[in-house]
C-alpha cells in the first residue's frame, strides 16, 4: 500500500535556528513528490515538486531534497512567519494524479 | 484572483440535513479533485474528475456522497443525511494533466 509518513509531528524553533523536516514514502512507483504549506483554516499552498532522486529545489529560506526513500525540507534561519503546517504528498505513476498526503509537521518559530 | 474558489467557506448543519458545496477551478485546468481533511491529519482523496468525467472515487466516499462536474467547469459535492462524522474541511484542487495541484481555501463543515 502506498504510504507517506512525516516526522516530527510538531517542531518548535527559535528564530534563526535552522532545522529539517522529514517525509518518508513507500510507493509502487513515484511520479512526483510535493511539498505544501498550510496555514490554520486555509487550503494547502503549493511549494515544490521533486521528480527524481538527487533533485533539489529552493525558495527563500526553504530547500527541498529527494532520495529514493525520503524527502527533506530544510529551513534555514527561520522567521516567525514560517510558522505553519508543512505537508508532504506523493503521486504514483499510472495513477489519476491524486495526491497521497502525510499527516504533516506543524512548525512554530518563536521570536 | 484566478485561483481555486470554494463556496461556502463555512457551513453548520443539523444531523440528517443535506449540504452542497461548490468549487470553481482555475479556468484552464482540466483535472479537479475533492479531498477531506480532519484536524491534525493530511488531506484524504475523495474523488477525481477529468473534464466532466468522474474517473475515480475513494472507498471513503459513501453512498451519501455525490459529486458532479457539469460541462467540465465548476464542481459540486453533495452530502445527504449528514452525520457528525462528516464534520471536516472539504478541499477542492485543480491541475493541468501532469501539473501540480492548486487548492482552494476549503469549506469547513460542522454537523451538530
Query: How far apart are alpha carbons B12 and B110 in whole angstroms?
Result: 5
Nearest to A96 among B55, B100, B104 (CB): B55
Q: Do A43 and B33 touch (CB under 8 A)?
A: no
Grid cell at residue A22 = 522529514
Interface of B with A in 45-64 (CB under 8 A): 45, 48, 50, 55-56
pLDDT greater than 90 at residue A103: yes
Q: Does A98 touch chain B (CB under 8 A)?
A: yes
Query: How far apart are alpha carbons B61 and B45 in whole angstroms?
Result: 9
Taking residues A55-70, report their average pLDDT.
96
CA-based nearest residue in chain B for residue A34: B100
Q: Do A103 and B41 touch (CB under 8 A)?
A: yes
| DSSP 3-state of B86 | helix
Chain B neighbors of A101, CB-CB under 8 A: 42-44
pLDDT in tens, B79-108: 999 999 999 999 999 999 888 999 999 999
Peptide bond into B8 cis (omega under 30): yes
Q: Does A97 touch chain B (CB under 8 A)?
A: yes
**Residue B1 CB: number of other CB atoms within 10 A?**
4
pLDDT in tens, A53-62: 999 999 999 9
Query: How far apart are alpha carbons A71 and A23 in whole angstroms?
Result: 5
Chain B neighbors of A44, CB-CB under 8 A: 43, 91, 103
Q: What mean pLDDT, rounded, does chain A reach?
A: 96
To the nearest whole Å, the CA of B43 is away from the closest chain A CA by 6
pLDDT greater than 80 at residue A95: no
pLDDT greater than 90 at residue A106: yes
pLDDT in tens, A3-39: 999 999 999 999 999 999 999 999 989 999 999 999 9
Cell 524553533 belongs to residue: A13
pLDDT in tens, B78-87: 999 999 999 9
**Residue A83 CB: number of other CB atoms within 10 A?**
16
Query: How far apart are alpha carbons B24 and A64 in whole angstroms?
Result: 30
Query: How far apart are alpha carbons A21 and A6 in whole angstroms?
Result: 8
Query: How far apart are alpha carbons A90 and A6 in whole angstroms?
Result: 12
Query: How far apart are alpha carbons A101 and B12 in whole angstroms?
Result: 27
Cell 493541468 belongs to residue: B96
To the nearest whole Å, the CA of B21 is away from the closest chain A CA by 15
DSSP-assigned letter for residue A95: S
Q: Does B90 touch chain A (CB under 8 A)?
A: no
Among B30, B61, B31, B32, which Cα is nearest to B46's? Answer: B61
Contact B37, B91 (CB under 8 A): yes
To the nearest whole Å, the CA of A3 is away from the closest chain B CA by 12
Q: Which pLDDT band holds residue B1 (cuts at 50, 70, 90)? A: low
Among B68, B92, B62, which Cα is nearest to B80's? Answer: B62
Query: How far apart are alpha carbons A24 and A69 in whole angstroms?
Result: 6
Q: Does A36 touch chain B (CB under 8 A)?
A: yes
pLDDT in tens, B14-63: 999 999 999 999 999 999 999 999 999 999 999 999 999 999 999 888 89
Amino acid at each position: 500500500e502506498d504510504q507517506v509518513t512525516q516526522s516530527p509531528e510538531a517542531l518548535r524553533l527559535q528564530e534563526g535556528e535552522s532545522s529539517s523536516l522529514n517525509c518518508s514514502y513507500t510507493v509502487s512507483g513515484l511520479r512526483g513528490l510535493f511539498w505544501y504549506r498550510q496555514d490554520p483554516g486555509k487550503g494547502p499552498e503549493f511549494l515544490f515538486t521533486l521528480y527524481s532522486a538527487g533533485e533539489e529545489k529552493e525558495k527563500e529560506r526553504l530547500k527541498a531534497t529527494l532520495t529514493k526513500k525520503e524527502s527533506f525540507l530544510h529551513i534555514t534561519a527561520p522567521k516567525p512567519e514560517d510558522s505553519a503546517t508543512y505537508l508532504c504528498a506523493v503521486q504514483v505513476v499510472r495513477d489519476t494524479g491524486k495526491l497521497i498526503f502525510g499527516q504533516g509537521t506543524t512548525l512554530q518559530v518563536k521570536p | 484572483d484566478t485561483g481555486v474558489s470554494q463556496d461556502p467557506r463555512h457551513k453548520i448543519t443539523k444531523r440528517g440535513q443535506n449540504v452542497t458545496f461548490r468549487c470553481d477551478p482555475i479556468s484552464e485546468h482540466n483535472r479537479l479533485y475533492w479531498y477531506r481533511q480532519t484536524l491534525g491529519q493530511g488531506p484524504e482523496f475523495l474523488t477525481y474528475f477529468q473534464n466532466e468525467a468522474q474517473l475515480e472515487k475513494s472507498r471513503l466516499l459513501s453512498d451519501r456522497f455525490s459529486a458532479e462536474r457539469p460541462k467540465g467547469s465548476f464542481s459540486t459535492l453533495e452530502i445527504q443525511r449528514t452525520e457528525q462524522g462528516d464534520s471536516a474541511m472539504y478541499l477542492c484542487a485543480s491541475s493541468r494533466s501532469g501539473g501540480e495541484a492548486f487548492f482552494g481555501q476549503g469549506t469547513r463543515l460542522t454537523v451538530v
